């Protein structure tokens, strides 16, 4: 398949943003990459190209954050996320990605606005309920369009973790589910030589983005960090809603 100059510009921008997001901002803004690439090559191929790139980013991010994650949070989130991935695999041929992105976008906008103007703590919903729900949604949306950032952030923000533990937990979560996603992607034929070649070309951009994210997050204190996450969620939600109307 031949790729246009516009595709490569969008790919470089999207992969760079995703690298920053994964290593420095809990994956929140990385959700824009697949929609960007889908403007040129369609969502399915865009998601297939991004998976190897994400795995490379995960390797770099895990090396940077290993040992600082909250394992108890991962034990709560990951089993449910596997259920979400399996559900996405089963429903793969029947999914309406436009409706999915609209629902995800509206949810992200509502939470971001509430958090920015009312506070980030959700009262009355125990972590043992909210965690698995958000984990399952994150697994499902990550399988479909690598868009697991908003539902994961919705849960992690409510836990008020210190910044480093927040980031480390998000990094380990996405590294785990991206590895799991390799199995259904292979079974569906979405990982092939053409997609792998494009991903390989984009690896240097991914490395630069990850390093940039590690630097940027050090400049922010915890309060600013949470507001940045919420603002990113708002921007993502607006992009998803208006991009799919």
Query: Going residue by residue through the chain (245 aa), what tens digit of pLDDT does each one get?
Result: 678 899 999 899 889 988 887 777 766 666 677 777 877 887 778 888 999 999 999 998 899 899 999 999 999 999 999 999 999 999 887 777 677 677 777 877 887 887 777 655 555 577 888 999 999 999 998 898 888 888 898 898 888 888 889 989 999 999 999 999 999 999 988 889 999 999 999 999 999 988 988 888 778 765 776 677 778 778 878 877 887 77
Query: 10 Å Cβ neighbour count for 63?
Result: 10
Number of domains in the chain: 1
Q: What is the Cα–Cα distance from 151 to 59, expressed in whole angstroms?
A: 22
Quickly list H helices, 188-217.
193-217
Cβ atoms of 201 and 52 closer than 8 Å? no
pLDDT at 173: 96
Burial of 219 (C-beta count, 10 Å sphere; 0-12/13-18/19+): exposed
Q: What is the Cα–Cα distance from 63 to 159, expressed in whole angstroms?
A: 24
Residue linked to tokens 């960090």 = 225
Q: What is the Cα–Cα distance from 129 to 236, expressed in whole angstroms?
A: 25
Domain extent at residue 136: 5-244
List the one residue out of 211, 122, 214 whose CA is nearest residue 164.
214
Residues in contact with 116: Cβ distance below 8 Å, sequence separation at least 6, in sequence order: 227, 230, 231, 234
Burial of 42 (C-beta count, 10 Å sphere; 0-12/13-18/19+): exposed
Burial of 118 (C-beta count, 10 Å sphere; 0-12/13-18/19+): exposed
pLDDT at 33: 79
Q: Can you read off the two tokens belonging to residue 192?
A: 């092939």
Q: Can you read off the two tokens belonging to residue 155?
A: 């849960």
Q: What is the Cα–Cα distance from 214 to 99, expressed in whole angstroms?
A: 34
pLDDT at 193: 92
CA 79 and chain centroid, separation: 17
């Amino acid at each position: 398949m031949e790729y246009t100059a516009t595709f490569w510009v969008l790919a470089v921008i999207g992969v760079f943003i995703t690298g920053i997001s994964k290593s420095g901002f809990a994956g929140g803004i990385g959700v824009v990459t697949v929609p960007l690439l889908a403007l040129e090559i369609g969502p399915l191929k865009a998601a297939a190209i991004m998976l190897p790139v994400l795995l490379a980013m995960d390797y770099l991010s895990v090396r940077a954050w290993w040992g600082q994650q909250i394992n108890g949070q991962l034990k709560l989130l990951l089993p449910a996320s596997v259920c979400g991935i399996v559900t996405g695999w089963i429903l793969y041929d029947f999914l309406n990605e436009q409706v999915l992105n609209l629902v995800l976008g509206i949810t992200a906008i509502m939470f971001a606005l509430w958090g920015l103007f009312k506070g980030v703590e959700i009262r009355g919903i125990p972590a043992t309920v909210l965690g698995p729900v958000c984990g399952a949604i994150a697994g499902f949306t990550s399988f479909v369009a690598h868009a697991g950032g908003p539902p994961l952030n919705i849960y992690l923000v409510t836990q008020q973790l210190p910044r480093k533990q927040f980031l480390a937990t998000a990094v380990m979560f996405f590294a785990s589910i991206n590895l799991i996603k390799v199995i259904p992607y292979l079974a569906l034929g979405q990982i092939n030589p053409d997609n792998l070649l494009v991903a390989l070309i984009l690896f240097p951009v991914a490395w630069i983005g990850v390093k940039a994210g590690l630097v940027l997050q050090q400049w922010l204190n915890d309060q600013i960090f949470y507001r940045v996450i919420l603002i990113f969620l708002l921007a993502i939600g607006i992009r998803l809603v208006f991009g799919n109307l």
